[in-house]
Structure 1
């Protein structure tokens, strides 16, 4: 992931995967992504997929980012990005199960 993390980059990278697990349309805002990430975390945890707890942390960071301004927002986005790094692998595992 690049050193600059923005809402746009997180949405572009993770919204489709998260939406698949949440069974919704891909998020277009940080609020939507935070909510869907929380739902995805619950579903991945129920499926015993390792790392699901990282999505809970990412969800909280995304929610915080959606209500703050720079530079605090940037810190929350970087925190979320760190906890989203394994999302694609977790979702791929989930896809094999459903």
Structure 2
């Protein structure tokens, strides 16, 4: 059995904030709340409404998990929700790279 690496909200932001900020046309987020707001904007821009990039639909699910994490008062639950969101961002590099090629 392999252990799954957990990711904290800080690590999630550090890993993805620059790419999300590029798509959202903002400075990289430093809080989970700002990151999730930018992620929502990016999901819209990368999705069917604008760029229609395959894989972008995963971002909406990540937004939902992060919104739940933001409002969670239980640290363990929050950690689980952040990690679930992270699992939907694993292809973000490729999605943003395709978007960069388009713009």
TM-score scaled by length of structure 2: 0.90
Among 53, 58, 63, the residue aligned to 1:54: 58
| Over 3 Å off, 4+ runs | none
Aligned partner of 1:30 among 8, 29, 32: 32
Following the alignment from structure 1 to structure 2, what is the Cα–Cα distance between the partners of residues 25 and 33?
10
Over residues 17-48 of structure 1, what are the superposed CA-to-partner deviations in whole Å (9 max), with x where a residue is unaligned? 00000001101111111111110011001201
For residues 34-65 of structure 1, what are the alpha-carbon distances to aligned partners after superposition, in whole Å with 9 as ceiling and x for unaligned? 11111001100120100111111111111111
What is the alpha-carbon root mean square deviation over aligned residues? Answer: 1.0
Note the residue ranges of structure 2 that are not aligned, 5 or more in a row. none
Q: Please identify which structure carries the higher helix content.
A: 1
Give unmatched runs, 5+ long, in structure 1: none
